[in-house]
Structure 1
């Protein structure tokens, strides 16, 4: 099962950068393999992410486990607070 994180390398928002860092940091700390997809590389990639999420205005970071949608940063944060981060990543 592979984790995919859609993110933006050129996000103008410090908040979004912070959110992305927290997700990457968690995955690295737990030694969970993941791949990143940078939506700033092309509009097609951003549209692909939004289509997979089912929200035409979805913003990064968005997390998938295989082809299952896990959620956005808020869902990750809530799962972390509840001690259920592994469940969020569907591991």
Structure 2
């Protein structure tokens, strides 16, 4: 399965868009392989994201590794700052 970043391409919220871009930029720059899943195009994907997160109102971006929930943008930023990104992504 691997790392999945759940995003929404139709969000009108600029903060969400910036967060999504920052996550994908950092993961790409660090050469992590990941898949982006657009929850705007699939109700099933949105449901799956919320099930993995354990929050029926979770909004993107959310990050998972397979069926393991890694966290949201705030947790991602914290991991980047603390240089614990691999642990956050459940790769270690």
For normalisation by structure 2, the TM-score amounts to: 0.91
Helix, strand or coil at the partner of 2:63: strand
What is the Cα deviation at residue 17 of structure 1?
0.6
What is the Cα deviation at residue 87 of structure 1?
1.4
Q: List runs of 5+ in structure 1 lacking aligned partners.
A: none
1:1-91 aligned at under 5 Å gives the runs 2-91=2-91
Q: List runs of 5+ in structure 2 lacking aligned partners.
A: none
Helix, strand or coil at the partner of 1:25: helix
Structural RMSD (CA): 1.2
Helix, strand or coil at the partner of 2:70: strand
* Per-residue CA distance 1:17-40 (angstroms, 9 max, x = gap): 111111101111011111111000
Runs of 4+ in 1 over 6 A off after TM superposition: none
Stretch deviating more after TM superposition (5-14 or 81-90): 81-90
